[in-house]
Structure 1
Amino acid sequence: MPDNHYQTLGIARDASADQIKKAYRKLARKYHPDVSKEADAEARMQAINVAYDTLSDAEKKKQYDFELDHPQGYAGFNAGNQGGFDQSQFYHQSTSDGQHADFSGFEDLFGRFGQGFGGGDYQYQRANRQTKSFRGEDQHASLEVDLEIAFHGATQNITLQIPSLNAHGEPEVQRKTLQVKIPAGMKSGQQIRLSGQGQAGYNGGAAGDLYIEILYKQTEQTRVEGADIFQQLNISPWEAALGQKIAFTSPDGKTLELQIPKNARTGQQLRLKDKGIPNKTPGQLYLILNIVIPAAQTEQEQQAYAAFAQAFPSFNPRQS
């Protein structure tokens, strides 16, 4: 087994924050128990999570580096635990048919839980557990959903594992399934607060809250920024040249009409006011025009292209 967190992630001690994150994502894709066939995938994933939790936090990393450089001062700690609590962090979204949908980019989709069990915090709680009560830490997660939910809302079940303290004040992983109601009109990046669903308190302390950040799935056709939606709209060459009126399906599923300006260009943006996410301050819908050239497969179609070329004898697309 690796001797330290850097070896666990396969990085050098001078690795940048971006390099640490990339190493974590690469290993998470390989060893996450939902997708990995490795026999020790669960144990490896736990070690990877602990390593990333420590090295991605500047203060924790500073303390951990100090411990590595001064091992004689930390002989009493469990070396196998590497200064922290082995946290199992596996996240699923329950689909309507009861199956679990796999997520890629685990930390991005459901965040990292259990930061309160890192090294010093846990040791402090153990030292004071007989005399003090503690409020559980707030937890943060992010949930990626389909864009249509922004217009209609939805209720989804999520199953996750979060760290908690048992009756003896010792850390353990608790599995829970929560029902999350996502209201219509949420901007990308807005959070839903689930009161008391974070880390459990200790000695009578209140539980923390769970904050779920809502993100919308990006596709080749659409992306979301806040309440604004950017949607690619394919049009024909004659629609672009002549400025014709067309019908298209907007992100909320409605059919809208749009007047294409004459001599429109690929990449040109058209703004439809207040047609984005229906927030308190409605977002905008930006249509990004994409001219699609039809293939000339029949003789008639080829003749049409020949006639088109004759109609524009001076046109040269390679001239700036």
Structure 2
Amino acid sequence: MAKQDYYQTLGVPKDASAEAIKKAYRAAAMKFHPDRNAGDKAAEHKFKEISEAYEILKDEQKRAAYDRYGHAAFENGAGARPGGGFGAGAGFGAGGFADIFEEMFGEFVGGRGRAQAQTRGGDLRYNMQITLEEAFAGKTATVRVPSSVKCEDCAGSGGEKGTHPVSCPVCHGSGRTRMTQGFFTMERTCTHCAGTGRVIEKPCKSCGGSGRTRRDKSLNVNVPPGVEDGTRIRLAGEGEAGLRGSPPGDLYIFLSIEPHRLFERDGADLHVKVPIPMVTAALGGPIEVPGIDGARVRLQIPAGAQSGQQFRLKGKGMSILRQHHRGDFYVHLAVETPVHLTKKQQELLGEFDKAGGKGKSHSPEAEGFFAKVKEFWQELKE
């Protein structure tokens, strides 16, 4: 079953603001949360759908990818996880309404390690343009990506060599601080340690205590045969380095295919328009057309060929992703009327026209059309 549009799932228009999306999610999550609908499988399924939709639409990068590519932007191994990735899908656990309250009130109600999850490295996007021939055959490309990498001097710890992080003196290692106000006790992320529970007394001089530095890195990207325009390739762990040794993000390669000067692609099939001389169309004869694989394809044109006539060459089209067979190749004829005729050539064509066809028309379609026109005019006169 096809997935429902994420905007429809949340009941918001495609140009909805982030605040409107958040408000719609809160209302729907409160209504369908399993804690309020015990044993109701339909409510449980609906809660999963709205959670998945909100996971995508609340993030600017994910939302932009979804707006352009739809659900296809999150296929092939993109699972949901806190704080990173283009992945869709969100479940629910034993936290009950605390999950919803955390989304509503942010840091003031138990974050359960959200700050630590946010230290994961950011995902990166790289746009790669390839030719149709490269999409057919596949290729290995080397790309240079500006990124954050693990600091070599401190091995990503953020501290000087020989030192170790110590327990945060403010939150005593919990990563959370509490504040009592009247009858309420509110808990929030410790600002001193950013929720990690540990602090670095002697930060690394090279990275300033972050555990990462800015640097371009070169990566080899394998583009498989048969990719289409908009295909996304995910390189796990090749995004930005995480803060102070946290896991890195992912790198996403988005492919776009250049228009070809000869071929038009339609999925796995290829089409080419071939102009042929009038004489070849009339008498028939062989022609050669190039294949996407560089081979020369020989085609026998039958006598009396017409413009628009097509020939199908099975298995001569594009490669198909992760399959061993190919699409088809369609050759479309375009009969070319001769131009720049010499006087002699004009005379010969005139003689040809006068010679007739011994009871048969040389241009049956034209004669049939004008016969209908004559009948039409005759009917108008009556």
**What's the secondary structure of 1:296's corresponding residue?**
coil
Q: Which residue of the partner structure matches residue 265 of structure 1?
A: 306
Alignment of 1:22-171 (within 5 A): 61-63=16-18, 131-132=116-117, 134-136=119-121, 138-139=123-124, 141-161=126-146
- CA shift, 1:288, in A, is 2.1
How far did residue 272 of structure 1 move?
0.8
Contact 2:137 2:226 in 1 (8 A): no
Are 2:345 and 1:301 aligned? yes
- Structure 1: distance between partners of 2:228 and 2:16: 31
Contact 1:133 1:203 in 2 (8 A): no
Q: Which amino acid counterpart does residue 129 of structure 2 have in structure 1? A: E
Residue 243 of structure 1: aligned partner: 284
CA change 1:266–1:161 in 2 (3 A) is: farther
TM-superposed CA distance for 1:238, in Å, is 2.6
Whether the 8 Å CA contact 1:133–1:201 is kept in 2: the answer is: no
1:187 aligns with 2:227: yes
Paired letter, 1:275: K
Separation (CA, whole Å) in 2 of partners of 1:313 and 1:277: 37
Which shows bigger deviation, 305-314 or 249-258? 305-314
Aligned to 1:25: none
Q: d(CA) in 1 for partners of 2:270 and 2:258?
A: 12
Residues 23-52 of structure 1 show CA distances to partners (whole Å, capped at 9, x for unaligned) of xxxxxxxxxxxxxxxxxxxxxxxxxxxxxx
CA distance in 2: counterparts of 1:313 and 1:264, whole angstroms: 12
Root-mean-square deviation (Å) = 4.8
CA contact under 8 A between 1:135 and 1:205: conserved in structure 2?
yes
Residue identity opposite 1:63 in structure 2:
A
Contact 1:228 / 1:277 at 8 angstroms: preserved in 2? yes
Cα offsets for 1:197-232 (capped at 9, x unmatched):
234434544323333344432235212233222222
2:333 to 259, 284, 289: 289
* Shift in Å, 1:286: 1.6
Contact 1:187 1:226 in 2 (8 A): no
- Counterparts in 2 of 1:256 and 1:313: CA distance versus 1, 3 Å: closer
Q: Which runs of 5+ in 1 are unaligned?
A: 1-56, 68-83, 88-106
- 1:211-250 correspondence runs (5 A): 211-250=252-291
Distance 2:315 2:290 in 1: 16
Q: In 1, are the aligned partners of 2:268 and 2:318 still within 8 Å (CA)?
A: yes
Identical aligned residues as a percent = 28
Equivalents in 1 of 2:254, 2:13: separation in Å?
A: 23
Query: TM-score under structure 1 normalisation?
Result: 0.50
Question: Which residue number corresponds to residue 254 of structure 1?
Answer: 295
Q: Decide which of 196, 201, 204 is 2:237's aligned counterpart.
A: 196
Aligned residues: 217
Instruction: Name the residue aligned to 2:64.
Output: none
Change (3 A) 1:274 1:296: same
> What 5-or-longer segments of structure 2 have no aligned partner?
1-11, 23-57, 62-67, 74-82, 86-102, 151-206, 357-361, 373-382
How far did residue 275 of structure 1 move? Answer: 0.6
Secondary structure of 1:233 counterpart: strand
**Rounded Cα–Cα distance in structure 2 between residues aligned with 1:140 and 1:317:** 60
Distance 1:246 1:313, change over 3 A: closer
Say whether the 8 Å CA contact 2:84–2:249 is kept in structure 1. Answer: no
2: CA distance, partners of 1:143 / 1:273: 30
TM-score, scaled relative to structure 2: 0.43
